[in-house]
Amino acid sequence: MRALRILTPNLLKSSHSVTRMFHLLLLVCFMGGAGSVSITVGTYNIWNVMFNWDVRKHHIAEMIRASNLDVIGFQEVRADQDPSFPSRRRQTQVDELQELLLPEYKWSTFQLGHDMHSPRDGAAKEWQHEGLALLSRHPILKSQKQDLSHHSRTDKVKRKVLHVTLMVSGYEVVISVVHFSYDKWQQCNNVAEVMEYIRDAKPKYSILLGDFNTYNDYEGPLEGLHMGYFSSQNKCPKYAKSKNPTVESELTAYDDAWKVMHYGDNGFTFSNMPSPGFLSRPDRILASNRFFKVISADIKGYGNIYAQKYQRYITFARRKAIIEAGRRTYSGEPGGDCLHDCGPNGVCQCGVCVRGRDREPCSVPHCTACSADLYRRYCILRIIFGAFTFQLFVGLIQTVLAITQGGNVHRHKSLARLCQVPLIVAPSWRHVRHFHLASSIRTILSSCRNLALVNLSISLLGMLSLVMLSQSWFEEPLRLLESPLLEEFNPSDHLLVIAELRFL
């Protein structure tokens, strides 16, 4: 009994230690599991409807899926419906992307920023509203708009911010999609007001991403975000500094994902033109440094892959636009101009941008390259070409049947009827029997096999003749088709920025 009384307290003590160790192990495992949860985010200036959107959207969708993004924020997103009709759903470019990415990316949101300038008389009216958007694999809990004050004389656009709250693996994350002003002083104010908004909202997990429009010679706004406040040495004006946090607990500082992973590497993401190339880094992903650890950062979207893979589709899109401009001219409908500016190296003709500063721009219906007469010729040639194509198809069937039936296809009445209806109808030979040549042709056309060969020969010769004729008739439209701008083979003038962030 004494031995038992001595052993029992030790046993209890030992059991209590084991329990404590077990609880500690569970706590360590839980903490380790929490720390391993991450989110992969991206930001991309979608470049509105510049250069063949119907082709580019497939490339953008491929980039998103290949990058395995959880969330991506977009800038310069166009919408094509008048917001004065709130009962109608506004169609946006991100809606079209989402259709290509379902069922993975089920959640999206769009915030109208501003209306674009009205197009010229006769130009198309679609895609005249622009804003910010977000596409997500994770549920969107809420979406809020922040209107930023406007003080700039040069930048006429009243900027807005899209704040989206997501639920990611049990973490409530607030992602703010921005497109700040290019005016330096206005940009400082934009940053200060966003920082104030976030301090009031008090999100634990905060990510800022988008087109910050910041440039190499003016880092003041970004310095404020990195520090969480504007220091006395910061070049931003007093208005921005007046919005600094008053207590340290309100301070939220951000890490630049690219700088954390690639310090010293410029990481340029923007270029107005293929030459001189990328010159600045306005596209960034910033994460609150107390609650996120940057795991990786990358840049994607250079044009060489896009140009190689989609050149055929781009050419087809240009041809479609030129034909549509001709149809509008023929029918007297307005529209058919380019939906965007062709830049300093090109002009708009027949609804496409054409390389060459020496060319004169033209608007439908005043373009000679897509005139009503050319469209009429195009329709006639297309009908004739279709007839020759059908004749070629019939000739191929006749040839196959003649070969498979050993030259005697008349054993089948239905096949005989097919052979007896040649597309080239023989004339009445009773009046021309004295012509030896006519007799020879009649002999040739007497057999089904010869009819097949005649059909094949005439259809091929006819199609070849039409192709040669079209080269002379449509010389000017073909020249437009073969003169695209170099910019047209870039998927955007911005690159896609990606960052993987681990929750702390």
- Label the pairing between strands 107-115 and 129-136: antiparallel
DSSP string of 108-127? EEEEEEEEPPPPPTTS---S
H-run or E-run covering 409? none
Q: Could you identify the residue written with the tokens 């490339």? A: 59
Catalogue all structural domains in the chain, each as residue range(s) with its CATH number: 35-307+492-503 (3.60.10.10), 357-482 (no CATH)
Whole-number pLDDT of residue 7: 32
H-run or E-run covering 284? strand 283-288
Whole-number pLDDT of residue 409: 43
Q: Is residue 272 within 8 Å of 17, Cβ to Cβ?
A: no
Two tokens, residue 472: 């002379």
Global pTM value: 0.78
Q: In 465-498, which positions are buried (b, 16+ CB within 10 angstroms) versus exposed (e)? A: ebeeebeebbebbeebbebbbebbbbbbbbbbbb
Q: Could you identify the residue written with the tokens 């608007």? A: 363
Backbone angles phi, psi at 474, to 5 degrees: -110, 35
Whole-number pLDDT of residue 441: 55
Rounded Cα–Cα distance for residues 322 and 483 (Å): 13
- Of 269, 270, 304, 348, give the one whose Cα is nearest residue 486: 304
Q: Is residue 221 within 8 Å of 214, Cβ to Cβ?
A: yes
Whole-number pLDDT of residue 224: 92
- Label the pairing between strands 254-256 and 283-288: antiparallel
**Which residues pair with residue 79 across a beta bridge?**
92, 129
Dihedral (C-alpha) 283, 288, 292, 298: value to the nearest 10 degrees? 10
C-alpha 144: how far from chain center: 24
Q: Any residues with CB less than 8 A from the CB of 362 and at least 6 apart, and which? A: 348, 349, 350, 368, 369
Rounded Cα–Cα distance for residues 168 and 224 (Å): 28
Q: Could you identify the residue written with the tokens 């206005």? A: 186
What one-character DSSP code corresponds to residue 369?
A: G
Whole-number pLDDT of residue 24: 42
Print pLDDT tens along the chain (504 aa). Answer: 344 333 334 433 444 554 555 444 444 344 444 458 999 999 999 999 889 999 999 999 999 999 999 999 999 999 986 556 555 557 899 999 999 999 999 999 999 988 776 554 444 567 888 999 999 999 999 999 999 999 888 998 999 999 999 999 999 999 999 999 999 999 999 999 999 999 999 999 999 999 999 877 788 899 999 999 999 889 898 889 999 988 877 888 999 999 999 998 999 999 877 777 888 999 999 999 999 999 999 999 988 888 888 989 999 999 999 999 999 999 988 777 887 888 888 899 998 999 887 788 888 888 999 999 999 999 999 999 999 998 888 888 877 877 776 545 444 444 444 444 444 444 454 554 555 665 665 555 454 446 777 778 888 898 898 888 888 889 999 999 999 988 888 888 899 999 999 999
Whole-number pLDDT of residue 415: 44
User: Helix crossing, 303-331 with 372-404: angle to 10°?
Assistant: 110
Rounded Cα–Cα distance for residues 288 and 206 (Å): 6
Rounded Cα–Cα distance for residues 339 and 54 (Å): 13
Rounded Cα–Cα distance for residues 107 and 111 (Å): 14
Two tokens, residue 278: 């990328």
Two tokens, residue 144: 């809020």
